[in-house]
Amino acid sequence: MRLLPAVPDTGIVFRRTDAGAEIPASWANTIESPRCTVLSNGEGITVGTVEHLMAALAGAEIDNAIVELDGPEVPIMDGSSAPFLFLIECAGLVEQDAARRAIKVLKPVSVIEEGATAALLPDHGFSMSFEISFANPLISRQDICVVFDAATFKAELSRARTFGLLDEVDRLRSAGFGRGGSLDNVVVVSGDHVLNAGGLRYADEFVRHKLLDAFGDLYLAGGPIIGRFCGVRSGHAHTRHLLAALFADADAWRYTSQGRATDFSALDPPSEMRLSGV
């Protein structure tokens, strides 16, 4: 994978170099997928597991970038957004001569599906809350509320990793998921123990990762959101359906400007970022 600079108003665009296709990172281009967020060009070309990279781009306030891949999935790295964010910061950002286009939430919008809720509410800034509940005794019930500023994502969310239960591994792999998963890129829980040698990065890493996922999925709105997100046991599909409900109601949102746009573009380091992985 490579990240390349882009001119104002490009947005985030995924380019499949092996398939000769480009897919804008938009909620309108998502397709149903049970375990991750997948973008499609409508002609059979897809890019999967975009949420961790999208979270890093949102956290770094990058408005315009081309993401080149030679396959159908973003590298998993360590299961979090931290490696992406680190390398983006190493390459550097350029402020562009254009205003950032933000989406301001004007009235409450929510989706309730299968006992889970995702909602967007009006607010003056951007904040997120999330609640999870698992039968597993280690994960159990966790909740978090984060008010975002320039440093929040890096400090509070970026290092939170994907997690899974050991007894789910065989079932997921037989269904075609998680074939590249290992203790290097997934927090694996068995009963009340974490199998990863280093343990957890945050005491409540599980709910923080769920919030990270939602943060990345929300950036598929096409820009930063001014409002408050609330998730209760929700997942990727709920967030995508929430964005669809928001944009379906013309009275629920409006565009507004928010400072200058930023471009992924290198200064002294190399003019592109290369990442490889399974």
- Cα separation, 19 vs 6, whole angstroms: 20
- pTM, entire model: 0.92
What was the pLDDT predicted at 34?
Answer: 81
Q: How far is CA 157 from CA 58, 64, 182, 208, 247, in A?
A: 12, 22, 21, 6, 27
For residue 239, the one-letter residue type is T
**Bridge partner list, 255:** 103
Which CATH number applies to 2-269: 2.40.50.70, 1.10.10.10, 3.10.450.50, 3.30.1700.10? Answer: 3.30.1700.10
Query: Which sequence spans correspond to the domains of the chain?
Result: 2-269
DSSP-based helix, strand, coil % in the chain, nearest 5: 25, 35, 40
In the set 124, 236, 238, 241, the catalytic residue is: 236
| 205-227 per-position pLDDT tens digit | 999 999 999 999 999 999 999 99
What was the pLDDT predicted at 190?
Answer: 94
Helix (H, G, I), strand (E, B) or coil at 34: coil
Q: Residues in the chain with pLDDT < 50?
A: 266-278
Nearest CA to 217 out of 196, 235, 199 is that of 235
Instruction: Say whether 241 is catalytic.
Output: no
Give me the DSSP letters along 120-157.
EE--SSEEEEEEEE-SSTTT-EEEEEEE--TTHIIIII
